[in-house]
Chain A
Amino acid sequence: MSSLNQQQQKNRKLIRLLVLVSVGMFGFGFAMWPLYNVFCDITGFGGRGVQVAQASSLVTGTSDREVRITFDATVNSALPWDFKPAERQMTVRLGELSNAKYLALNTSNEAIAGHAIYNVTPPEASLYFVKTECFCFTEQLLQQGEAREMPVYFFVKTDLPANITDITLSYTFFRDSSDAGLTLTP
């Protein structure tokens, strides 16, 4: 009988440990979320390296080196807008404050708010990309049929690695998340 008890105690101890491991791994699944964010912050993935500056005074001198910027625009299917860059491409000098425009048009017959998220390719370039003003910082409300020019002010830091000669800035407009229209139903 005592050996049976010993056995049971041994089992209980092991099971407690194994249950703890399972619960820990459940937590680890969720821990992937902050870990993923840290990874993006370090590598600049998902446009995470882009810095936001309030004033153009942060420009730290210019260089003669030029880099080509390509502008890209996408609209989520839940948002009935037209959205495109005014210019597909522009060439800017490093350190020089530049201005690009996007054009948005609400093609529906109701007022809709949208929110743009952005990404920068190659990811490493986002660490050297600074925005001083962007339509993506706030929610945009377009009345029915309303068209709007949406500006973005930015510069690329002078210490951009030499192997990067092309940068793509991409925006995707989503319907404002507080709007019921966002709910994904087939």
Chain B
Amino acid sequence: MSETTAHMHDDHDHGPASGIMRWITTTNHKDIGTLYLVFALLMFFVGGLMALVIRAELFMPGLQLVEPDFFNQMTTMHALVMIFGAVMPAFVGFANWMVPMMVGAPDMALPRMNNWSFWIIPFAFTMLLLPLVLGIFGIGGGGPASGWTLYPPLSLQTGDAFAFTIFAVHMLGISSIMGAINIIATILNMRAPDMTLLRMPLFVWTWLITAFLLIAVMPVLAGAVTMLLTDRFFGTTFFSAAGGGDPVMFQHIFWFFGHPEVYIMILPAFGIISEIIPTFARKPLFGYTSMVYATASIAFLSFIVWAHHMFTVGMPLGAEIYFMLATMMIAVPTGVKVFNWVTTMWKGAMTFETPMLWAISFVVLFTIGGFSGLMLAIVPVDFQYHDTYFVVAHFHYVLVTGAVFALIAGMYYWIPKWTGYMYNEKLGKWHFWLSTIFVNILFFPQHYLGLAGMPRRIPDYSVQFAEFNMISSIGAFGFGISQLLMVAVIWQCVRGGKKASARVWEGARGLEWTVPSPAPYHTFETPPAIDDSMVAHPDDLAH
């Protein structure tokens, strides 16, 4: 008995080790969360730099700055870096930091695997970025340039970067699957006894559902890129028409992964927003249970709509109509969410601290992205919009002003809990207003470019598109530079400032606000007793 106690003591009572080894060997969910978030921030700027190369080239018609092939590498790598390097790791970072604290667990269910999930990613990105970086210095053929969707036969013509890209995608897939398994195990098995499923914060719910999406579709992507690999190196002809395969089949397999992937990047964002809005409206979330069901419906529907990405490949009319209607059905649960957020704010005692500003901006701008998505779902219209800048505008509204805005909102919301200090509110508000204004200058004109017929993934364009492209590029540089303010805010906040209280926000509810700020290295080593006053969303079925 005493031996057991001593052992337990040894396991739990010490603080972090010091020096670099703390970060390499850590199994603490807060440390790993921080690693994920810092890595994601770094990749956000790497991917952003690539976007600025794209926008600089598109500032004027004609070819000024880069070779077309390098431009194609930029569009491809920008997408891969932002999706797999910035948005997904950032959400996993939030999950690591917040999920154990929100459900009253001492740590993630599998701390060692957690360490491995993170440390795979820097190696994967070294592989992914290496051909591009070497290419810049004149070594080799540069990075992949076939678009992030890796459609054959074009992707099979990638030079030496091909194998690097495929292996990087494999490693990132393994990391995501391990992370997802860990999150599911934590949520299902590690909750405090009083934390029933329908008492869980919505962020935990959305992540639970996202994790299931991840383990369902990341392996499918792994299968698709494995087939590409064997087509290229081992003489199979899965996607080669000459050998009896079909390149269109790749698109089906890819988008069977790709559409749920879109929701993997937005469902946790819904979760973050559903935490922030009730706090600053000082009202419980309206329709908590309907939010849970809406999230689950969106996840289910995401599996049966994939072919709306490929309406123009030549599908039977029946299939086009089916995929059109199924896609439009997603607007119903998404509408439930938007209305619930608006209703939560209705007659609330609202204040507009920086996280709330970002959250409101998310609701408005994400909805614009949702509506342009509905337009794209209409088959006859999609034939006109397909592969134009309208599509680019659409998915940047849902991914930048959707996923990224939610991440930034969440960062402002929880950073006092992470660092123990309040961030600089004035700088935060500047960051918000500059970003929101510039992001619209950046992406809104792209709708018009698309409607006028400008194709995407092209380094040069007809002079009729010159004005809107110039406006868009100005917005891009404004938005990019504004993000440096975020780094300044984070830097200041880590180093010091006004001490944050445990609750931080007057209207905040949930277990994470019952521990001191900064959150101690170990929290909830014994499960907390929970009553409804501590819970963000009391089970409204019980009342």
Q: Which chain A residues have a beta carbon within 8 Å of chain B's beta carbons?
A: 1, 7, 10-11, 14-15, 18-19, 21-30, 32-33, 36, 40, 43, 46, 76, 115, 117, 123, 172, 174-175, 177, 182, 184-186
Assembled-state Cα–Cα distance A1/B11 (Å): 13
* 0/1 interface trace, chain B 159-196, chain A, CB 8 Å (1 if under): 10000000000000000010011001100111000000
Question: Of residues A22, A24, A172, A175, which shows the largest number of chain B Cβ atoms within 10 Å of its Cβ?
Answer: A22
A182 near B242: Cβ-Cβ < 8 Å = yes
The reply to whether B109 and A115 form a contact with Cβ atoms under 8 Å apart is no
Contact of B246 among A25, A30, A46, A174 (CB under 8 A): A46
CA gap between A61 and B222 in the complex, in Å: 52
- The reply to whether B189 and A18 form a contact with Cβ atoms under 8 Å apart is no
Taking CB atoms, residues of chain B closer than 8 Å to A25 are: 215-220
Which residue of chain A is the closest to B1 with respect to CB atoms? A1
- The A-contacting residues of B in range 208-266, CB under 8 angstroms, are 215-224, 226-227, 232, 237-238, 241-244, 246, 249, 252-253, 256
Q: A186 near B249 (CB under 8 angstroms)?
A: no
Contact of B189 among A1, A14, A30, A76 (CB under 8 A): A14
Q: Are the CB atoms of B177 and A186 closer together than 8 Å?
A: no
A1-B153 Cα distance, complex, nearest whole Å? 57
User: In the complex, which range does the number of interface residues on chain B fall in?
Assistant: 35 or more
**A7–B232 alpha-carbon span in the complex (Å):** 46
Q: 20 extra interchain contacts, Cβ-Cβ under 8 A, other than A14-B188, A25-B219?
A: A1-B4, A14-B189, A18-B181, A18-B184, A23-B219, A25-B217, A25-B218, A28-B223, A29-B220, A29-B221, A29-B222, A29-B223, A29-B253, A30-B223, A40-B246, A46-B246, A123-B316, A174-B241, A184-B232, A186-B141
Q: Which residues of B have CB within 8 Å of A117?
A: 241-242, 244
Task: Tell me the minimal C-beta distance from A103 to chain B in angstroms.
Answer: 21
Q: Is the CB of A11 within 8 A of B184?
A: no
> Which chain A positions have C-beta within 8 A of B217?
25
In the complex, chain A residues whose CB is within 8 Å of the CB of B244: 117
Contact across chains for B227 and A30 when beta carbons are under 8 A apart: yes
Q: From A36, which residue of chain B is reached at the shortest CB distance?
A: B249
* Closest-CB distance, A96 to chain B (whole angstroms): 28
* With A19-B181, A186-B157: A76-B188 Cβ-Cβ less than 8 Å: no
* Interface: B156 (CB within 8 A): yes
A76 CB contacts on chain B under 8 angstroms = 242
B110 within 8 A of A: yes
A32 to B221, CA, bound (A): 12
Known interface pairs A22-B177, A172-B241, A184-B153; A32-B185 also in contact (CB < 8 Å): no
Complex-state Cα separation, A38 to B4, whole angstroms: 60
Given A25-B215, A26-B220, A43-B316, verify A185-B242 contact (CB < 8 Å).
no
Residues of B within 8 A of A21 (CB): 215-216
Residue pair A10, B253 in contact (C-beta under 8 Å):
no
B242 contacts A15, C-beta separation under 8 Å:
no
Q: Please name the residue on chain A nearest to B180 by beta carbon.
A: A18
Cα separation A36 to B256 with both chains bound (whole Å): 13
Q: In the complex, which of the residues B185, B215, B232 contacts A11, with contact meaning CB atoms closer than 8 Å?
A: B185
Q: What are the 5 tightest A-B residue pairs by CB atom distance, in nearest-first order?
A: A29-B223, A174-B242, A26-B219, A25-B219, A29-B220
Report the bound CA distance from A14 to B177 in whole Å.
14
Per the bound structure, the CA–CA distance linking A10 and B188 in Å amounts to: 10
Please measure, in the bound complex, the distance between the C-alpha atom of A23 and the C-alpha atom of B189, giving whole angstroms.
22
Q: A177-B243, A185-B157, A186-B159 are in contact. Are A7 and B189 (CB under 8 A)?
A: yes
Q: How far is the CA of A87 from the CA of B469 in the complex (A)?
A: 47
Chain B residues in 8 Å Cβ range of A7: 189-190
Across the interface, which residues of B come within 8 angstroms of A33, CB to CB? 227, 238, 249
Q: Please name all residues of chain A whose beta carbon is closer than 8 Å to the beta carbon of B221 when the two chains form the complex.
A: 29
B 287-301 to A, binary, CB cutoff 8 A, 1 in contact else 0: 000000000000000
Chain A hits for B237, CB < 8 A:
177
Interfacial residues of chain B within 116-153, with CB under 8 A of chain A in the complex: 141, 153
Residues of B within 8 A of A182 (CB): 242
| Interface pair A15/B220, CB less than 8 Å apart | no
A11 engages B110 (CB within 8 Å): yes
Which single member of A36, A40, A177 contacts B242 (CB below 8 Å)? A177
**A22 and B219: CB pair below 8 A?**
yes
Cross-chain contact A28 with B157 (CB below 8 angstroms): no
User: In whole angstroms, what is the CA distance A7 to B110 when docked?
Assistant: 11
Contacts of B249 in A (CB 8 A): 32-33, 36
Q: In the complex the two chains form, what is the Cα distance from A21 to B213 in whole Å?
A: 11
Distance A18 CA – B4 CA, assembled complex (angstroms): 31
Complex CA distance for A182 and B235, rounded to whole angstroms: 11
Given A11-B189, A32-B252, A32-B253: A115 and B220 within 8 A (CB)? no
Tell which of A29, A43, A175 has the most Cβ of chain B within 10 Å. Answer: A29
In whole angstroms, what is the CA distance A36 to B316 when docked?
14
Q: Kindly provide the distance from the CB of B249 to the nearest chain A CB, expressed in whole angstroms.
A: 5
State A26–B218 Cα separation when bound (angstroms): 8
CB-CB under 8 A from B219, the residues of chain A are 22-26, 28-29
Residues of A close to B232: CB separation below 8 A? 184
